Amino acid sequence: MTERRIGPFILGRQIGAGGMGIVYLATHIETGKEVAVKVLPPALSEDEKLLKRFEREIGILKRLKHPNIVKYYGGGTHQGQRWYAMEYIDGGSLHDILKKRKRLTWDQAIQVGRQLTAALEQAHNAGIIHRDLKPGNLFITKKGRIKLGDFGIARDTEATALTAAGKTVGTYAYMAPEQIHGNAPISGKTDLYATGCLLYELLVGETPFVSSNPAEMLMMHLNDYPYNLHEKNVECPLALDQLVERLLQKNQEDRPFDALAVNTELEHILKSGEESVAHILPEALHSAGASASVFVSVDPATGDVTVKKKKKKKDHSQFYEKTWFLLVFLGLLIAVAVWLSLPAGEDALYISAKEAMSTSDPVTHFDARSHYLRPYLQRFPQGKYAGEMQSWLDDVEVSLIEAQLERRVRRPDAGRNRYETTCLKAMRAALDADRNKLESLETFQALIESLPPDDAAQANAAEVEVADGKTTSEDDAAADVISVPRFWKTIAEKNRDSGKQALLSDPDRSKIITARMTTANQLLMDGKTHEAQQIFHLFREIFYGEKELENWLDYAKFRLHGDVVDMPAQLEP
């Protein structure tokens, strides 16, 4: 068989094809190096529009030189055929990994995200928006490096083919709202939305929106909000969940500033997560000669993705000078010190928890929940720090519920129990410009009054958090958390109080109160006495002791008792 040459390359087997040309595995004649060569057939070269796109693709590749972007090696024209050579990636694509693994761990997903955003930073700085990020366009070398490409290695027909894993339609699964309706210019934040979709898929095992109908999927991107990572039972830091949520915002302005900001945040989340589970201080390891450098390794045959420490050069020093000996000795010293100074582990858990909760970092708080707070209360339910540890745990649990509420309130979801149903009703009323602002406050106040007394709530929580002395799974714990009445009381009180302060400072507060009292009076006229009395009662409970509303509080009191009185003429702001 005659060898087919093009430029300085011998063409081998075809590895890709599509509307923008054919891609071959090729070998450089002089060096034997394998590359990918993309060729534009003569028939397509006659299409001026396609030829310009091909030339533009070459121009983009020339400008992008980055370790996480497929390299450009040069191009030319051979017997009327335009071609160019680029780096051949030998480890398959991220799409291949997901087909084998379904999903990655949170730290592995962060490593992928960091390499992707590093590539995007380079591209965006060069004025280039990728616009087609997806697992099939992220290639992986055998050494585990991610390479961003969009140059025909993956078949162009994938853009319209169903993927078996997610039942999604090609790039529609990663398309930002502005790409769909065109009401805003495409920008680097368009790629950030796709990055959010991709990270979501790596962590959950499916894209944020799943449908076999292209039109339905596009409408989901425009109008729906996906379940967050913790609602999908993904074990990851809360900060990663929140970052993915921001990446998936419909409005570009609500997404992170740029790819560099995302990369920096991912690095911080990764470091915070690693530090929270470390048993020896990083400073101590460093002083002993240990290296914290790691890299991601991917096995293309099995799809396994692992984080490995970089190998060190051999040294021929005495055994007592070697790093392993220093680490073992240091570990023994630390173990002895801990054993001598921390009786039965109770003090150790408290000290670690106190250090974590003294920060303002929600990632650290969330990790403290699993590593210190819950273990302490399970092992030492009557311990000397139990009250303080329970208070910290409550704060973390409430923050987690609040984060979930913020997501669910924007979707038509029903609550998972009556507490959440009531809170969602109140929050949606507050967001509705056509509703009286007092309606939201009344709903929160009614929820507060319906909850059991604090002592009963505490007893219920104790049963939830320490059941037969066994440690519950994260999934079971998450389900239990939303059933604790005192958490909902805290959330309702916070929302009621903030809403009350907003109304007190509202220059139209007199009109707002007048309108609500008018509604209550109309209910009385319609024979709906209970509903009317609830409005008067809840108003008095919400604003009890507010001197500037004294006239209205008296009015509500009289009307509650059935007395006929005139409304206050005017309320000074």
CB-based contact 487:394 (threshold 8 Å)? yes
Query: Which residue in the block uniquely carries the two structure tokens 């090609």?
Result: 170
Active site residue 508: no
Q: Report the C-alpha gap between 237 and 370 in whole angstroms.
A: 11
Which is the catalytic residue, given 47, 90, 132, 258?
132
Tokens of 409: 């309130």
**Nearest in space to 536 (alpha carbons), one of 519, 545, 548:** 519
CB-based contact 33:14 (threshold 8 Å)? no
CB-based contact 397:460 (threshold 8 Å)? no
Q: In sequence order, which ranges of 139-213 are alpha helices (DSSP H)? A: 177-181, 188-204
Tokens of 9: 């390359």
Tokens of 12: 């081998």
- What's the distance, CA 186 to chain centroid? 22
Tokens of 278: 């470390």
Helix/strand/coil for 70 = coil
Q: Secondary structure of 126-161 in the HEC alphabet? A: CCCCCCCCCHHHEEECCCCCEEECCCCCCCHHHHCC
Which H helix or E strand runs over 564? none
Q: Report the C-alpha gap between 388 and 351 in whole angstroms.
A: 12
Q: Report the C-alpha gap between 210 and 507 in whole angstroms.
A: 46
- What's the distance, CA 544 to chain centroid? 41
- What's the distance, CA 22 to chain centroid? 37
Which residues are catalytically annotated? Answer: 132
